[in-house]
Structures are given as C-alpha cells and as structure tokens.
Structure 1
Amino acid sequence: MSSKHAENSTSTADSESVEDLPLPPSPPGYPILGNTLQYASDPFEFHDSAVEEYGDVVRMDLVGGDIYLMAHPDFFERAMVTQQDAFEKTDDFEIAFGENLNAVEGEQWERQNEALQEFFYPGKIRAYAESMVDMIEARMELWEDGGEISLHGQMKDVALEILFGTIFDRPLDPEGDEELRWAANSLNEYFNPSSLVLPDWLPTPARHRFKKGKGRLNREARRLLAEREEEGGTGDDLLSTMVEVRNSDSELITETEMIDQVAGLTFAGHDTSGLSMAFAWHLLGNHPDVRERFYEELDDVLGGDRPTIDDIGDLTFTRKIMQETMRRHTPVHTVPRRAAKDIEAHGYRIPEGADMHLSIHRVHRDPRFWDDPLEFKPSRWDDMSTIDKRYAYIPFGEGPRSCIGERFAKLEQLLVLATIGQKYHLEPQSELDFAPEMTSQPSNPLPTTVHER
C-alpha cells in the first residue's frame, strides 16, 4: 500500500492554517487537456490508479476545471453527518432533479422529507410485498426457456413496474408504456464523463440528450398527475396524496415540486435497483458455488412457493448476496459535493468553491477495509460483528439524508432474486464492463440466456 495513504486528521483546521496547506497532488496529464482524456476514457480505472499512486485525495486536472477525488471513509462521515455545511451539494443536483428531495436543502427538504416518509414506513413497505411478486411474475411471463434477454433492460423494467405499481399505484403494461420507460432513464445523460470534464457552457451530445430526456420526463410526470386528478386523487398513493394536498392548500406543495418529485422518484426509484439486481444475477452466473448455495436456500425456505413477506427473514444468504453485490458493484459510484469553504483533507487544502468527487467505488474496493476486495464473497457477511465499516460501506448513503427508499429497495431486491431464482437460471453471455454516468451503467445490455431450473 502506498505510503500516501497515511491516516491524517480529518478535522477542519482554522481558516489560517488551512490556507497554508498545499493542494493535493495531480497525476501527470497532457498539455492543456490535463487528465481529461484519461478520466473520460475510463473513470473507474483512473480513480483506482490515481488513488493507488497518490493517496486518498487527488486533484484531477480537467478542461472544465479541477475536481478533487476523495477516497476515504472519513470524507463520507464529514460530508454526510458531521460537516454537511462544508460539503454542500453541487448545482448538478438541481439541474438533474429540480426541486426534488435529492436536490433541495433546509426547510424545503425537511418539509418534503416529512411528507414522503409515510410512503416508506416499514409497515407500508411490508404491505407492498405481494404486489411486488405479482409484477415480477408478470415480467417473467415474457421470458422463454432458452431465450435471450437484456439482463440490464429487464431488471430496469421490473424495477420501474414495481415502483409504479406500489408507490404510485399506477400499474404499467409489461409490454407497453415505452415513452415513460425511455424518459425514466434520461437523467443519466447529464453525468456522462464527456459532460463532466468539459466546461458547463459547451454543448455536448450527452447534454443535448439530457435536455431532451428531462423535458420528456417532466411531461410524463405532468401527465401522470393530470390522470390522477381526473380520477379524483383520493387514494393513499403518492400521486393521489400530492394532488389532494395541492387542491386543499396550494401553499404546501407547488406544481413544480410535484412534477420534480414524480420525475426524480421515477428515475431514482428504478435505476439503482435495476442495476443492483442485474449485477447480482451477472455475479451469480459467474460464481457457480455461490449460485448453488443460493438455490439451496430458496428450495429450503420456499419449497417452490411464492415468496411472502414472512419468508424474507429466512432468506439470509440471499440478503448477503445483495450486500456483497452492492459492495462489489455499487450502483451509485460517486457522491459529488462542493466546498463551501476551504477544507482540510488529510493534510491538503480543498479550495472554497471546488468540486469534490467522493468515491464510493474506490472505498468499497479498498484493501485497507476489505479482505480480497475484488472477490465476490457473500460469506464475508456471515459474521456481522466483524463488519465495522460504517462509512466504508455506504451503498445507500449515511446520515439524515441517506436514501429514503433503502427499505423499499432491499425488499424489492430480495423478492426479485427469490421469485426468479426459484424458476430460472440466468446465464450471462457477456463480460460486465462499465460506462459510468450518474450511476454505474454497464457498457452493454448484458445479454443473458434464460434456462428453467
């Protein structure tokens, strides 16, 4: 391990001492372009090699401006819990999500968070289980023994169907709603590496696709809200609740907030779940020993029956598969932040106003915190008392602004694996390589052959 990884104090020093600290080191780059080409061609590889060589804090010299790569649990604790004011959200959140829960701050966030919590209470989520299984089975009816599917596409589709059939109470046609499905994936385009490394004012194909897609997603959100208003808006789902609140007191929620909430949840509520489930199946397909233990648990616990909410507690190995999947291939690879003031970071200075990329991808693979970090070993989670890595394992974030849908996603993941795994073996036909955007997008659709067990 490089000596650059020395454990330094992470407390914020007084402003005078911080000003005296050096900037973090930067890998060699090209004239004018700096590290732009290296980063844009393979962000994950660049992150890994830069941290290995230069330590936990690295300055990436990009055409669009310096970005500070930060790869240690300390930084996540500070950004998410102890020093949130110093690690403020970037403008990217507002551009992508508008006035959605993911982007707003202060009183507006508190108000939105309180309003949305009721849809993610444990009791409410438990009640979704039967409907989730119904939608998983409806998706499986489109598959044929020996046929080929896009693993990534199918897992995104079922995640979107589950979201809409539960939180929104607006079931989707498994073979329809194509406009909505396309729009639901559009926000990723803004975080294409080519857009991140270039100046904000420079038009790029990815930025054009993002603008077009975001407009379409907002139109879909308006349409969904209008549909629910025409139906009376009297249910206990999210769409009905927002319509009812808006009609009773327009001061409690604005039309823009309603649209951005639906649009943001549509993206965030299916993209990461779809990715995590696709990655899990791909890993299972390439690790037959883990797959057989998984099948044994399903046979022992379920015996061929549909999984129910009462079975979830007994699917212990299935849960470990998902925990390890989200460590090995975390869907959210980076947490972007902006320095609200000069920040001390392991002996270096992050200048006020600088953009920071806190790398979950790197921390989840750091050998200081994980034995054999590149290996897929669900058994590492057998003894939870040895997993003392609160900020070294953060697939859902930490602190007061951790993912509001964490419980929902974990239930969904278990039910998808259990329902499909009882009937099918999924055999990957390609390698898993990445083309990261906002999330860890695979570079291909992950073609997969479906075999009945």
Structure 2
Amino acid sequence: MAMTSRPPSPSGAPLVGHTVGYARDQFGFVRRSALDCGDVFLADLLGFGEVCYLTHPAGFERVLSTDREAFGRSDVFTVAFGEGLLAVEDSRWATQRSRLEDFFSPGRIRSYAAEMVALTERRTDRWTDGETLSLLGEATALTLEIICSTLFGRRLDPDGGRALRRAAADLNAWFTPTSLVLPRSVPTPSRRRFERARTTLRAQLRDLIDERAAGQRGNDLLSALVAASDAEGGDDGEGGHPSAETDGTDALSETAIVDQLVTLLFAGHETTALALTYAFYELGSDRRVRHRFHGELDEVLGGECPTPGDVSALSVTERIVTEALRLYPPAHTIPRVATRDVRIDGYRVPAGTRTHLAVHSVHRDERFYDDPLAFRPARWREAGPESKGYAYVPFGAGPRTCIGRRFALLEAILVLATIGQDYRLVPQEPLELDPRMSTQPAGDVPITLRERRPS
C-alpha cells in the first residue's frame, strides 16, 4: 500500500454518496463501514464533503494527543456555542480554560455536593409511588437546576425555567443526521427549531448577566466572569456592553460570557442527564445489578444523604456510571479538522479534511471489550477505565479532556445514590437511540416509580 493512498470508502450512491445510509442509521453506518473498510475510512456526506472516520484507539491517540497540533476544532460546535471553550483554539483556549479551572478543582467540586443532593431531594419530594414520568425529562431538569445553582448562582424554580430547559434541549436540533448532511442554507424544521432555541437561550443568559452585573456578586463562576468583564473593560457601543472577544486580547466581553455560559450550560448538564437516564434504564432492566446497587446504598448510607466522603465506598454505584458512559457515551463522535496533511495508518489525510473519532463504535468494539453490547458494571471491578486508555473516552482525552469531568462524575454518583435509596425506576418501553450532537434516546424514556426503603 502506498503511503500516499487515500483511505478506502464504502460503496455509495451517485451524487449523494453515503448521505442516505448515514442519515437513516448513523451508528449502523459507521459500524458497517469499519467492518468493510477498516479503522480508517472516508464517508462522502452532503453538507460535509468527505469525512475521515477513525474507529481505533490508536487513531484517537494520534488526534487527541500525539499529533494534536495537526487537528483543529470543527466548526460544527461554533454554530451552537460561538467562541466558548468547546470551539476555540491555542492561546484563546488556554486563556479561557485558566479562567474556569478554579471552579472545577477537586475542592470546589466537593463544595457543590450538598447542593447537588439538596436539589435532587427537592425534585424527588414531588414524586409519588406508581407515577409514570419521563426519565429523560426529569434527569435533564434536575441537572440543569444543578448547573444553574452551583455555577451560575441561580436556583431555578422546579416549575419554572421551562423556556430555558426547552431552549437547551433544542440546541440538539441542529445536529440531527439529516440536518448535518444538508447544506446550511436549507431551512429544515429542526434548524428553525435550533435558531429559535439559540435566540431564546442567549437572550435569557444576557438577562442573567445584566442582573448579576447590576446586583450582588457571589462566589460562583458567573460572578467571576462578570467581574473579569468589569476589570478588563471594552465597549461595543451598544448600551455600554463590552465588545466580542475578537481582537486577540484577553478582554472578556458580554458576548464572550454568553458563549461560555451556553457551552457550560449545555455540556454541564446534558452529559450527566444522559448518563443518569441510561444508568437508571439499565438498573430497571437488570435485576442482579439493581440488587447489588441497592444493597450497597443500604450498607453504606443507611438512609442518610450521600456526601463526597461516601463516594469511595460507593464502588458499585461508580462502576454503574462508568459502564453507562461506555455503552452510551454522550459525545458519540469527536469532530476535528486536519490543519495540515497527515498520514494515519499509512493513508494520506489532506489538510482541511473533517476527521471524526467514532467514540460510540470503539466503546462497543469486541476487540477492546468482552461482550461489548452488554451492560456489565462488574467489568470495571478489577481495573478502572484508565486501564482502557484511548478505548474509553467519554470525556475526550489528552490535554483538552473535558474540564467538567470530575463535576459530572460526582454529580452522577450522588444523584444515583440519592434517588436509588428511595425509588426503583421501572422502564415502560424498549430503549432506542437517536444520535444528535449527543447520544440521545429516541423518546422520553417513560418510567414508573416504585418506592423502596433501606433494608
């Protein structure tokens, strides 16, 4: 094989390439293509052009660590998040990351624990035995309340905040497979929904910024960003608000704050909401795992609220979270763009090529996991996820690993433990997946609540 050869490509259709198969079943298309072509292949998708898919941990390591300077962030995220942490590069990323790091330090995250548990109990106090609820809806509402309270210093009313929750959820509308592969000029229903959501979300966050700027500051992340804006100055000429962060300086504008808040709001609540949804679904479907889970809660907590000091003893609960993130990684694909010509597995990938890391595919690959389609938390009993290297990347990997990883893991463990002490959640429908920007379930995942008491 010549070192300059193009990666192989599965058979496609004239004009539309692989668009139809991808839009119909994204995960199935990637899995079948990898089986046919190997761990590096090209997909021809309308709206994207040629996309180079990688389906092996070695490729992930190249892109995320070894040769990370050769792969830039995809413009896919810029549409939703502007110039937030997910979308920027180089020194701008380093500056933004340094502003946020203190709020995601181990000590600061532990300080959020009591509020995470309190908001969980506030929500479950509204539940009744035998009631049927949307598991996805409850998990999403709860994690949004947690992120707003801990990072933004704003407690949402459990009956309020619906517009904010709807707008956050509808950001996913841009990322349906059908919308992604169509030219951006095509006004699909999902894109119109996305535009409405983006407008609503950004307007509400601007109001929150203005309220915080005019009122009392706290010790939360939003207050720190507003204070940084005050200190660093800048004015866009519109009502005295600072200008966008586009001049290469460290000036933090209102637009930059909004971009950051949108990024943190979405990434900070959706990852955990999905992990909780899939963990509780699997617990409701597997009696043996559920029995071990409830047994651990009864032994370790005995009906008391969980604290960060309990987490090390909640090993079964932690393994359930780890396994949910393996089988259902919220970020099913990590998109990058080659910034220069590179060679991967001997294939030439030209500069400008969209390069997608197929996380969902690797997490379910039998080369790296025994019985990969089964939900088996016990697989992590002897060795944790770090033992899998780049074959386990629910939060990315390398220098740009998700800043909120520890936050999400602690939140998921505490919420699982708090709810699991009082309730068993019984799924009412089979689970199907609907990949968008994240690994969404196809429906609301209805569950019926069954009260339980520690034995």
Q: TM-score normalised to the size of structure 1?
A: 0.93
- What is the alpha-carbon distance in structure 2 between the residues aligned to residue 440 and residue 385 of structure 1? 23
> Is 2:171 aligned against 1:171?
no
The question of whether the paired residues in 2 share the 8 Å contact of 1:186 and 1:217 is answered with: no
CA distance in 2, matches of 1:29, 1:80: 29
Q: How does 1:165-204 map to 2 (within 5 A)?
A: 165-204=149-188
Compute the displacement of 1:387 (Å).
6.2
Shift of residue 386, structure 1, vs aligned partner = 9.3
Deviations 1:97-133 (A, max 9, x none): 1111111112211111011001111111111111111
Match of 1:337 in 2: 336
Q: Which residue of 1 aligns with 2:102?
A: 118
Distance (whole Å) between structure 2 residues aligned to residue 114 and residue 94 of structure 1: 20
Following the alignment from structure 1 to structure 2, what is the Cα–Cα distance between the partners of residues 213 and 152?
19
1:158 equivalent in structure 2: 142
Q: How big is the alpha-carbon RMSD for the aligned residues of Structure 1 and Structure 2?
A: 1.5
> Which residue is 1:238 aligned to?
221
Deviation per CA, 1:342-401, whole angstroms, max 9, x where unpaired? 221212222221112110001111111111111111111111179632100011111121
Give the letter for the 1:131 counterpart.
E
- The answer to whether the 8 Å contact 1:381/1:387 transfers is no
Tell me the SS of whatever aligns to 1:22: coil
Query: In the alignment, which residue of structure 2 is the partner of 1:217?
Result: 201
> In the comparison of the two structures, how many residue pairs are matched?
435
Alignment-derived partner of residue 373 in structure 1:
372
**Could you say which residue in structure 1 is the equivalent of 2:76?**
92
Alignment of 1:248-287 (within 5 A): 248-250=231-233, 252-287=251-286
Q: CA deviation at 1:263?
A: 1.4
Matches within 5 A, 1:39-188: 39-64=22-47, 65-188=49-172
Equivalent-residue separation in structure 1 for 2:354 and 2:185 (angstroms): 17
CA contact (8 A) 2:54 2:60 kept: no
Question: 1:4 aligns to what?
Answer: none
Give the Cα separation in 1 of the matches to 2:338 and 2:228.
36
CA separation in 1, counterparts of 2:225 and 2:44?
44
Q: State the distance in 1 between where 2:179 and 2:386 align.
A: 37
Could you say if the C-alpha distance between residues 400 and 206 of structure 1 is closer, same or farther in structure 2, counting changes exceeding 3 Å?
same
> Against the structure 1 CA distance between its residues 143 and 121, is the aligned structure 2 distance closer, same or farther, given a 3 Å change threshold?
same
Q: Which amino acid in 2 is paired with 1:62?
A: L
Matching residue's letter, 1:93: F
Could you tell me whether the CA contact under 8 Å between 2:143 and 2:273 is conserved in 1? yes
Give the distance between the partners of 2:102 and 2:384, measured in 1 at CA. Answer: 32
- Could you tell me which runs of 5 or more consecutive residues in structure 2 were left unpaired when the two chains were aligned: 234-249
Match of 1:433 in 2: 432
Tell me what 2:351 maps to.
Answer: 352
Q: Distance in 2 between matches of 1:357 and 1:313?
A: 35
Q: Does the Cα contact within 8 Å between 2:386 and 2:392 map onto a contact in 1?
A: no
Q: Is the 8 A contact 2:152 2:221 kept in 1?
A: yes
Partner-residue secondary structure (3-state), 1:335:
strand
The gaps in structure 1 that reach 5 residues or longer are 1-7, 9-16
> Counterpart in 2 of 1:449?
448
**Is the CA contact (8 Å cut-off) linking 1:189 and 1:209 kept in structure 2?**
yes
Secondary structure of residue in 2 paired with 1:285: helix
Give the whole-Å Cα distance in 2 for the aligned partners of 1:386 and 1:106.
Answer: 28
> Does the residue aligned with 2:439 lie in a helix, a strand or coil?
coil
Bigger shift: residues 197-206 or 221-230: 197-206
* Residues 34, 55 of structure 2: 8 Å contact kept: yes
- Could you tell me whether the CA contact under 8 Å between 1:101 and 1:261 is conserved in 2? yes
Structure 2 length-normalised TM: 0.93
Query: 1:336 deviation in Å?
Result: 0.6
> How far is 1:252 from its partner?
3.4
Tell me how far 1:276 sits from its aligned partner.
Answer: 0.7
Instruction: Report the secondary structure of 1:389's partner residue.
Output: helix
Which 4+ runs in 1 deviate beyond 6 A?
A: none
Whether the aligned pair in 2 keeps the contact of 1:194 and 1:206 (CA below 8 Å) is no
- Say whether 1:30 aligns with 2:13: yes
Q: In structure 1, what is the Cα distance between the partners aligned to 2:157 and 2:59?
A: 43
Q: Distance in 1 between matches of 2:353 and 2:179?
A: 17
Distance 1:125 1:387 in 2: 21
1:328-352 Cα distance to aligned partner (Å, 9 max, x none): 1111100011111222121222222
Identical aligned residues as a percent: 46
Identify the residue that residue 3 of structure 1 maps to in structure 2: none
